[in-house]
Amino acid sequence: MTKAIECINLVKQFGDFRAVDQINLQFEQGRISALLGPNGAGKTTTISMMLGMMRPTSGEVRVLGLPSGTKELRQRVGALMQDVRAADGLTVREVLQLFRSYYRNPMSLERLFDISGLHADAKRRASALSGGQRRRLAFAQSLAGNPELIVLDEPTVGMDVEARGRFWETIRALASDGRTVLLTTHYLEEADAVADHIAVIANGCVVAEGAPERLKAQAALRTVSFRSANAPKEHEWLQLPGVEKAECYGDRIRLHAHETDQLLFTLMQSNWGVTDIDVQSASLEDAFRSLTDTNRSTLTKNSLS
């Protein structure tokens, strides 16, 4: 079966800044996938290249087996981008009808109204809608062509908890028709709630990938934090058993490790003057933050090798 989306050594360079750095990704058809990462990780840039709105500096994107940006794909792919204002002067119904006219095999107007929940607002001007309503209209516009593949860039930004729950239900219903959904988010909670497959990106690179359960297991590190009166060089912490990552805040050290029993034993036996030890299981959000965070002074095994 052809992949829904395939990125091969994808790179996007803006001047000196490399927004996307050698990304290799594959998303299966008929599933909900999430591209998870903090703001500025390169999610929107990656999506833009998938949709053919931006040309890769090097590498390749194939969507539904075709090169991205081809005319045929625009018939089969629906996309919701961030920050698009509605056309002035048209009513909600007129906007939806207009978008339906672009496609060979449009979704029924009735279903678009059901999905957007804008039945009562059909005759209102699109520009007079509230922010949340406008977002739902934009979502319905992206579905006007009855797409096989739906790409959503930060779809739930600005939604309250209830609206978000309803939105996830809609996404699941759309996927159960056999459609492929790819969404970007910076909330693990969201990716975990809807996606079958998650790819985590940070600084333009894929840092982890897999089913939510696998990722959660992989990311479930414990942290050991303590003071050290006589600390060794920073990278020596990474030589300790099981340590994946070390953070130093003055004399306060925090180590992330899969297994802490052996580590504690080593610390107690050392001559580093270790005091004030605190062991914690990291929360999932913390684990992901530590996975994607590169602004703080941190050392990981990957960055050394």
| Binding footprint of another protein on the chain (CB under 8 A) | 51, 53, 71, 74-75, 77, 79, 81, 83-85, 87-90, 94, 97-99, 101-103, 141-142, 145
Q: Is 53 or 282 the residue whose CB approaches another protein more closely? A: 53
In angstroms, give the least distance from the CB of 79 to another protein.
5
Angle at which helix 284-292 crosses helix 212-219, to 10 degrees, equals 80
Q: Is 142 or 203 the residue whose CB approaches another protein more closely? A: 142
The separation between CA 90 and the C-alpha centre of its own chain, rounded to angstroms, equals: 33
Q: Is 66 or 231 the residue whose CB approaches another protein more closely? A: 66
Whether 108 and 65 have beta carbons less than 8 Å apart is answered as no
Measured distance CA(196)–CA(34) in Å, rounded: 8
In angstroms, give the least distance from the CB of 37 to another protein.
22
In angstroms, give the least distance from the CB of 250 to another protein.
46
DSSP secondary-structure letter at 86? P
In angstroms, give the least distance from the CB of 3 to another protein.
20
Q: Is 74 or 252 the residue whose CB approaches another protein more closely? A: 74
Q: Is 142 or 180 the residue whose CB approaches another protein more closely? A: 142
Measured distance CA(208)–CA(96) in Å, rounded: 38
Whether 11 and 59 have beta carbons less than 8 Å apart is answered as yes
In angstroms, give the least distance from the CB of 11 to another protein.
16
Measured distance CA(247)–CA(249) in Å, rounded: 7
